[in-house]
Chains A and B, each alone.
Chain A
Amino acid sequence: MLQAMSLRKLKAWEDAGLIDAATHARIRDWEAAHARPYALRAVIGLAVLAIGLGIVSVVAAHWAEIPGEIRLTLHFTLILGCLAALVRVDHDALLFVLGVLGLTFFGHLGQVYQTSSPLYVPLGLWLLLFSPLLLARGRGWLIVLLFFATLVLTLLVYAGELLDRADPAEAWRTGARTALALASPALIAPLAAWACARSDRPGFWRRLARLALGWSATLASAAAAASLASFRTQPDPEWSLSLAAALAVSTTLVVAAAVLRRLRSDAQARLEPTVFAGLAVVPPLAWLLGGSEVVAALLFMGLWAGLALAALHAGWREAFQLAVALIALRLVILSFELAGDLLTSGAGLILSGLLILGVVWAALRVARRFAPQAPGRGEAGPG
């Protein structure tokens, strides 16, 4: 069942002397023998899809009338089915569906039994039950993101709850606990480095390590951004809360750097612990020096200049370009912070427009000229 176009091509190739008549005939025979009934499969697929959608809509239409226990049994059976399929098949999409079914099961339980608990409890339980499976079997970005995003969301919700219930007399404890919760995903980086060396899925662990690094850089950037305010000169609840938070984040990052340093001794891999150690410096610095626009901007730009340098060493093109873009953006923001009255006069507007254009032009030039080449994914860069 060779397509008309392919037949024409074969004929053309034969006429042009690229293939001889015998080859032409052999190709046609082989194609005929290996033809796949796409049309038939499409029709069957369509029918199955229609039946599936029909079942879903019938169930959905009567969802409210189905007793809760039966709905939960149905939900549980779907989870069981996914797990049974995973005994034989390894597929990210299946893992993802299973993960989402598991997450929604908690919400479903809450609806049927009218229970309520803080959001971080079901999310945490889900992480406890499902992350071993996701980490043991996942391969691509889909699973990496499902795991990491849920982890970060859980910790954010938990940190929010801690701050809501904070007792002003226990500012130290609150600050430290909140910051430790938020910074703990940094510890995924050494875990990933350890697993990467032993796993048959190094790509999965490298992606996870990149997210851990990205989250750590986000926290350090947040600290740099917060240094617009001077926490050092504020009265007590803020004073101890912010100092405890800065020290806790810093300590976590140092621990991540130290473990990474022990795990990987080859010269190329020294870069990663250095990056984490560099990030660890930012929160205490932000606390000590904070209080002016210039300091906040310099801290932020210094942080990302360091990261750009590291990306250059590691040959990580996207990270380098991101760093350059962020520095340029911060520079523009700083110019407005320092000279906000520029926007009130015509000449000022022209000047600030020129400034933005200049910064963007310089950033583009740097990003193009100095960025490392895209490949190099195989090497052991920062995650």
Chain B
Amino acid sequence: MNHPNPRALLRALVLALPLLGLGAIWAIVHTRAQQGVEWDVPVRGYDPRDLLRGHYIVYRYDWPGLDAGPALLATARGLCLHGEPPRIERVAILEGACTHPVRATEAGSGLATGRLYVPQSQAAPLERQLADDSRRAILRFRLRPDGHLMPLRITVEPAAGTRSAQP
């Protein structure tokens, strides 16, 4: 007659819930982060920074070959990337079938702007470089199969014109 005490069982469950829940959420986020292919896109600095949530760099995408204003981007369902990863040849507003779709999410900053968390020590220099017109910032992002865009890192290099001027 070794019935488990229901109170003790409940107590154990209540203690296990945060652990199992956080573990499961971590596992899901981790698995999702491994999916998809990586692409490069030029970005430009964008003010203001989101002070509330720590050191985020906020940037504006410079989608190659897309001449759509911010208003169109705000209402678009998504974008379609053409090219071989990681090089984007051109980008169009998403309509119908597409091999590499980027979908707009309600939560994210959308198709026009995005943000990347960077450690405190790198935030200020990176922000200065982003504001500098003689340099070109490239965002490496991972595009998940579901069309969700995950920023990975920003690298800054001299802009194409400057580079040819100073061989």
A residues adjacent to B (C-beta < 8 A): 63-64, 69, 72, 76, 79-80, 83, 86-87, 98, 102, 105-107, 109-111, 113-118, 121, 125, 128-130, 132-133, 136-137, 165
Stretch at the interface among B15-23, B82-90, B92-100, B157-165: B15-23
Bound state CA distance, A121 and B11, in angstroms? Answer: 26
Is there contact, CB below 8 Å, between A113 and B30?
yes
Interface residue stretch chosen among B37-45, B70-78, B111-119, B125-133: B111-119
Closest to B11 in A: A136
7 inter-chain pairs at a CB distance below 8 angstroms, sorted by A residue, are: A72-B26, A79-B22, A98-B18, A109-B29, A111-B54, A116-B115, A130-B18
Which of B11, B17, B54 meets A129, CB within 8 Å?
A: B17
With A64-B119, A87-B15 already in contact, the answer to whether A76 and B29 are too (CB < 8 A) is no
- List the B side residues contacting A102 at CB < 8 Å: 18, 22
B151 and A83 contact, CB distance less than 8 A: no
Chain A residue contacts of B116, Cβ below 8 A: 114
Chain A positions within 8 Å of B134 at CB level: none
A136, B13: Cα distance in complex, Å: 11
B166 in contact (CB, < 8 A): no
Cross-chain contact B22 with A105 (CB below 8 angstroms): yes
B109 sits at the interface (CB 8 A): yes
Cβ–Cβ < 8 Å partners of A63 in chain B: 119
Residues of B within 8 A of A72 (CB): 26
In chain A, what residue has the closest Cβ to B20? A129
Known: A63-B119, A113-B33, A132-B14. A83 touches B150 (CB 8 A): no
Give A94 Cβ to nearest chain B Cβ, in Å: 12
Checking B17, B53, B54, B115 against A133 with a beta-carbon cut-off of 8 angstroms, the contacting residue is B17
Closest Cβ–Cβ distance, residue A53 to chain B (whole Å): 20
- Complex interface: chain B residues within 8 A of A125 (CB): 21, 25
Q: Check A133 against B18 for contact (C-beta < 8 Å).
A: yes
Contact A83 B117 (CB under 8 A): no
| Given A98-B18, A118-B107, A136-B14: A109 in contact with B122 (beta carbons within 8 A) | no
Most chain B beta-carbon neighbours within 10 Å: one of A72, A107, A115, A128: A115
Instruction: Please give, as numbers and ranges, the residues of chain B lying within 8 Å of A76 by CB-CB distance.
Output: 22-23, 26
Inter-chain pairs besides A76-B23, A83-B18, A133-B15, 6 sampled, C-beta below 8 Å: A63-B119, A79-B19, A83-B15, A116-B115, A129-B17, A136-B11
- In the complex, the answer to whether B18 meets A115 with C-beta atoms within 8 Å is no
Kindly state the separation between the CA atoms of A303 and B18 in the bound complex, as whole angstroms.
41
3 shortest A-B CB distances, which residue pairs?
A64-B119, A129-B21, A111-B117
Closest to A132 in B: B14
CB distance from A109 to the nearest CB of B (A): 6
B113 → chain A closest CB, angstroms: 12
Contact A80 B33 (CB under 8 A): no
Question: With A76-B22, A115-B150 as given contacts, are A64 and B14 in contact (CB-CB < 8 Å)?
Answer: no
A243 CB → nearest B CB, Å: 28
Q: Is the CB of A133 within 8 A of B120?
A: no
Q: Which residue of A lies closest to B109 (CB)?
A: A116
User: Which of B15, B19, B108, B119 has a CB less than 8 Å from the CB of A116?
Assistant: B108
User: From residue A14, how far is it (CB to closest CB) to chain B in Å?
Assistant: 53
Instruction: Determine the distance from Cα of A72 to Cα of B30 in the docked complex, in whole angstroms.
Output: 11
On chain A, the residues within 8 Å of B2 by CB distance are none
Instruction: Let me know if B150 and A64 touch, CB within 8 A.
Output: no
Chain A residue numbers with a CB within 8 Å of B23 are: 76
With A129-B18, A133-B18 given, is the CB distance from A113 to B150 under 8 Å?
yes
In the bound complex, what is the Cα–Cα distance between A125 and B18 (angstroms)? 10
B122 touches A64 (CB 8 A): yes
In this assembly, does B152 line the interface, its C-beta being within 8 Å of a C-beta of chain A? yes
Q: Which residue of A lies closest to B121 (CB)?
A: A64
Knowing A64-B120, A136-B11, the reply to whether A116 touches B17 (Cβ < 8 A) is no
Tell me, in angstroms, the Cα distance from A86 to B53 when the chains sit together: 31
| Contact status A110-B21, CB under 8 Å | no
Taking the nearest CB of chain B, how far is it from the CB of A75, in angstroms?
9
Instruction: Please give, as numbers and ranges, the residues of chain B lying within 8 Å of A110 by CB-CB distance.
Output: 117
Q: How many Å from the CB of B42 to the closest CB on chain A?
A: 18
